[in-house]
């Protein structure tokens, strides 16, 4: 999914939750010049996931 997005145009930044895929994308971001933003919480994503779980459970 990240590669597909980059093929359409490189994103300026990639936001990930701390202690998840940070270690996987760090080198990729470094090599491509994409800013890596690591956050403790991604409240908006959590809310979407909760709604999807309720809706599609």
Model pTM score: 0.66
Q: Among 5, 42, 4, 6, which Cα is nearest to 21's?
A: 42
Every domain of the chain and the residues it spans:
2-56
What is the predicted pLDDT for the residue at 9?
A: 80
Burial class (CB in 10 A: 0-12, 13-18, 19+), 36: middle
Contact 39, 17 (CB under 8 A): yes
Confidence band, pLDDT 50/70/90 cuts, at residue 5:
low
When the pLDDT of each residue in the chain is averaged and rounded to a whole number, the result is: 87
pLDDT at 2: 64
Beta strands in 1-57 (DSSP E): 13-17, 35-39
Please enumerate in sequence order all residues whose Cβ is within 8 A of that of 45, keeping only pairs 6 or more positions apart, or say none: 17
Confidence of residue 35 (pLDDT cuts 50, 70, 90): very high
């Amino acid at each position: 999914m990240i590669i597909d997005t980059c093929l359409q145009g490189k994103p300026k930044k990639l936001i990930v939750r701390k202690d998840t895929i940070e270690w996987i994308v760090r080198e990729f971001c470094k090599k491509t010049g994409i800013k890596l933003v690591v956050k403790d919480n991604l409240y908006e994503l959590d809310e979407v996931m909760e709604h999807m779980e309720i809706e599609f459970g």
